[in-house]
Amino acid sequence: MNPSIQAEEVRFSYGKNEVLRGVNFAAQRGQLIAVLGPNGAGKSTLFRCLLGLYHNYHGSIKIDGREVKSLQPREIAAKVAYIPQTQTPTFHYTVLEMVLMGTTHRVRGLQSPGEKEEAIAREALAQVGIADMEQRSFGQLSGGEQQLVLIARALAQQTELLIMDEPTSSLDYGNQLRVMQRVKELAQQGYTILLSSHNPQQDLLFADRILALHDGVICADGAPRTVVTPELLDKLYHIKTRLAEAEEGRLIVPLLKGDS
């Protein structure tokens, strides 16, 4: 079986500044993969390459066995969906209207989404547990509710590959957990999910796999309990930590000044 997405020796530069210096990984279906790394590590650039937004990279990126550079935008939209951190629409869209935007690659020419697309959008809303919100104004929802709407919009594209940009970065603690629980459920249903992360504790709890990105290369790749170590966190974030075992899982304990 072909990987859902595969990158081989991907390199990318902004002028003379090489941001990606040979990235290699393959993601199988049904995996929730956290791309962990500090600001400037190249996470956003990598995602833009994976989404076909940047074509001037070196190396190979394939989705379902096809090179991204060879795909038209409509073909990419049929294979991969992107979920941003937040979105502030120019107009006052309802939740259903926001999710319908995920079906536009299915509609030809200047046609508007029809009954079939509305059914797809409603199914996506039900999938993330917010079917009762379809007529509410998107702009009046909480941050957690808005993020679930953006996930539903991605599901309405009917792709099996989701790329998420720090989906919980602007959410309070409760909404972080609620959103990540939904994301984990989607992976268990067979979706391949790549999300950028600054939260190794959250990744320990939810991710199936972590790709640690540092200085433009993947410096660690594997199961969260194997990858997340005090040495890695020091390398990525220049902090001292220790790991503690609890009944519910592994905890990261920062060592503050004065701690022994």
The pLDDT value given to residue 187: 96
- Say if residue 186's pLDDT is above 70: yes
What domains are there in the chain, each with its CATH number? 1-79+159-224 (3.40.50.300), 89-158 (no CATH)
pLDDT tens figures, 214-260:
999 999 999 999 999 999 999 999 999 999 998 888 999 999 876 65
- What pTM does this model have? 0.91
Written as one string, the DSSP assignment of 163-184 is: EEESTTTTS-HHHHHHHHHHHH
> How far, in Å, are 14, 151, 191 from residue 81 at the CA level?
25, 9, 11
- H or E segment and range at residue 33: strand 32-36
Written as one string, the DSSP assignment of 60-117 is: EEEETTEEGGGS-HHHHHTTEEEE-S----SS--BHHHHHHGGGGGGS-TTPPP-HHH
Residues 34 and 20: their CA atoms lie apart, in Å, by 17
- H or E segment and range at residue 59: strand 58-63
pLDDT tens figures, 96-137:
999 999 998 877 666 777 889 999 999 999 999 999 999 999
Quick one: CA dihedral 20, 25, 27, 33, positive or negative?
negative
- How many residues are present in the chain? 260
CA-closest candidate to residue 19, choices 213, 247, 243: 213
